[in-house]
Amino acid sequence: MVLVHGEQDGSNDGPVVDYKGNPVDKSKTGGWLAAGLILGSELSERICVMGISMNLVTYLVGDLHISSAKSATIVTNFMGTLNLLGLLGGFVADAKLGRYLTVAISASITALGVILLTLATTIPSMRPPPCDDYRKLHHQCIEANGRQLALLYAALYTTALGGGGIKSNVSGYGSDQFDLSDPKEEKAMIFFFNRFYFCISIGSLFAAIVLVYIQDNVGRGWGYGISAATMVIAVAVLLCGTPWYRFKKPQGSPLTVIWRVVFLALKQRNQPYPSHPSLLNDYENRKVPYTERYKCLDKAAILDDNFAANTNKNTNSWIVSTVTQVEEVKMVLKLLPIWSTCILFWTIYSQMTTFTVEQATIMNRKIGSFEIPPGSLSAFLFISILLFTSLNEKVFVPLARRITHTVQGITSLQRIGIGLVLSMAAMVAAAIVEKERREMAVNGNVKISAFWLVFQYFLVGSGEAFAYVGQLEFFIREAPDRMKSMSTGLFLSTISMGFYVSSLLVTIVDSVTKNTWLRNNLNRGKLNNFYWLLAALGFFNFWIFLFFASRHQYKMQMPIQPESPQKELKSFNDEMIDDKEKIAAFQAVGNAEP
């Protein structure tokens, strides 16, 4: 039996204990078994969310008679809110509940949301009267009213609330099950994020193929009901696995630390900088290296002469911050430039859940006598994700290791860069395919095969395999250790902002072009121009990303700054005295009679 007393798990966010609060037994807790049970919640959440987002637009347009542009905005706002609420989930976990309770409660809320969605799409009074050929006669169809949309919105945003709490904590809680100070567990941890994303992509694939087919051909209620049942089972599995988990107690909200450091830096902005960083508060006990970047924040850790000698005031965080706290805030600020350049990837990705599905509805989807549901074509998105996630682990990373002679092989920023390039290529392919599709439909009255959409699905999916893993790894690795949940929420906020930017772009383009690009009848619109716009924005965004990435210094590369000259001299003298004592003892032993 191996008991680990106060194990830090490679981080600074508190000792690791079992569910009884005792030091963990590494032979009975943690590892892939515990991580797998935890990731079941994210797998089920992905089944629920993908089952909703990949096919919701067809329900909004076809059953509720809402315009294509407005339907796309509803979907992207839902996905944006879901990911934005990841920040709230991370805050709650870090400040009070811890990751385990937050995941358990959030999964229960998600189950409730999907149950409400099942009711909203099943009750006949929640839909307007049916309308044949709604694309051509949309102006004659009765659009869903506010009362009918109320239950739908309540269901969607309840699901979003729960999903945000799961997303922001599952990956961090799963990584808590590995001890980075143990070489064996550290090796297992290297592929954790890759395998984590591989597993949840299987859930997405199941949603795109099975659930979308059931929604379109059996009934929406059955499709969403299966999703709700899946989440209920996931909650039960998570709770049953409690004895095998490793727990870290919440250390307080990092948002409070960030606000406090910024407040004190502004309050003490007129204070002169000390002659050496070692004169800053609690410099000798810092847990992270001191850096010169964002030096203005150092003023939060300046000891005022009025209370420099007062120990009680030195430890009061509302009077003066420690160097560790200031450096942690600096780490978060260093993430923001990369954060901003990741947003557009998810703006491009969001098109796979909206306009690409709309394209599929008016293309030839038949294989023999079987007609593929429009939303099920997104299966190619997830197949490409699974393919490239496997290639990353089995081919690309081992090959990169041989070339770079590093354990990581491909860095997180390199993964993100590859994802951005592939997303640009996807929009170029989407623009070309849409132009050909519209010309064939208008001039030749021919429906081209929906499998032409595979190009954009494949490129976005392969890009996501790189970008998602790269971004998740970047934000978790580069953020302060005790801010793991918040850093995951920060990553999710890039996805959120991507969907919101998509909604904003749709609104602006629809207004500027006077409803000529994005029309309910895509044959009369110019959707290809919208795709070209996204490709151009992606090109400029990529060069901005390269600028920021080339200047980013990884956390592990930060040099530890030397101590003050006085401390260095004292350390040197202590070492000399220690060496003299060792030499004297050695000589005494050598001169002793046998």
Q: What's 560's DSSP letter?
A: P
Query: Domain end: 555, 570, 586, which one?
Result: 555
Residues 44 and 81 grouped into a single domain: yes
83-122 per-residue burial string, b: 16 or more CB within 10 A, e: under 16: bbbbbbbbbbbbbebbbbbbbbbbbbbbbbbbbbbbbbbe
Burial class (CB in 10 A: 0-12, 13-18, 19+), 74: buried
The confidence band for 485, taking pLDDT boundaries of 50, 70 and 90, is low
Mean pLDDT of 98-105: 90
- Through-space distance between the first and last CA atoms of the chain, rounded to whole angstroms: 43
Residues 480 and 531 grouped into a single domain: yes
Indicate whether 145 belongs to any domain. Answer: yes
**pLDDT value at residue 573:** 47
User: Given the structure tokens 């599952």, which residue do they identify?
Assistant: 170
Residues 270 and 236 grouped into a single domain: no
Alpha-carbon span 43 to 50, nearest angstrom: 11
Residues 192 and 152 grouped into a single domain: yes
Indicate whether 80 belongs to any domain. Answer: yes
Res. 4: pLDDT tops 60: no
Q: What is the CA radius of gyration of the chain?
A: 28
Mean pLDDT of 197-212: 84
**pLDDT value at residue 64:** 87
- Whole-number mean pLDDT of the chain? 81
Which range of residues forms the domain containing residue 71? 12-251
Res. 561: pLDDT tops 70: no
pLDDT in tens, 337-354: 999 999 999 999 999 888
User: Given the structure tokens 């490793």, which residue do they identify?
Assistant: 246
Q: What contacts 420, CB < 8 A, 6 or more positions away?
A: 341, 344, 345, 463, 467, 538, 541, 542, 545
The confidence band for 179, taking pLDDT boundaries of 50, 70 and 90, is confident
- CATH at residue 46: 1.20.1250.20
User: Given the structure tokens 């006990």, which residue do they identify?
Assistant: 285
Indicate whether 7 belongs to any domain. Answer: no
Res. 557: pLDDT tops 60: no
Burial class (CB in 10 A: 0-12, 13-18, 19+), 336: exposed
Mean pLDDT of 447-463: 92
Query: Domain end: 251, 270, 296, which one?
Result: 251
Residues 427 and 453 grouped into a single domain: yes
Res. 169: pLDDT tops 80: yes
Mean pLDDT of 456-470: 90
Indicate whether 89 belongs to any domain. Answer: yes
Q: What contacts 570, CB < 8 A, 6 or more positions away?
A: none
Indicate whether 3 belongs to any domain. Answer: no
Domains contained in the chain, number: 3
Residues 291 and 388 grouped into a single domain: no
Residues 226 and 180 grouped into a single domain: yes
Residues 295 and 367 grouped into a single domain: no
Residues 102 and 123 grouped into a single domain: yes
Residues 345 and 417 grouped into a single domain: yes
The confidence band for 258, taking pLDDT boundaries of 50, 70 and 90, is confident
**pLDDT value at residue 563:** 46
Res. 174: pLDDT tops 80: yes
Indicate whether 309 belongs to any domain. Answer: no
Q: How many CB atoms lie within 10 A of CB 316?
A: 12
pLDDT in tens, 417-448: 999 999 999 999 999 999 999 988 888 788 89
**pLDDT value at residue 559:** 47
Res. 477: pLDDT tops 90: no
Mean pLDDT of 548-572: 58
Indicate whether 201 belongs to any domain. Answer: yes
**pLDDT value at residue 545:** 96
The confidence band for 368, taking pLDDT boundaries of 50, 70 and 90, is confident
Residues 286 and 244 grouped into a single domain: no
Please state which of the ranges 205-214, 280-289, 482-491 shows the lowest mean pLDDT. 482-491
Structure tokens belonging to residue 249: 């107690």
**pLDDT value at residue 136:** 52
Indicate whether 225 belongs to any domain. Answer: yes
E strands within 22-123? 24-25
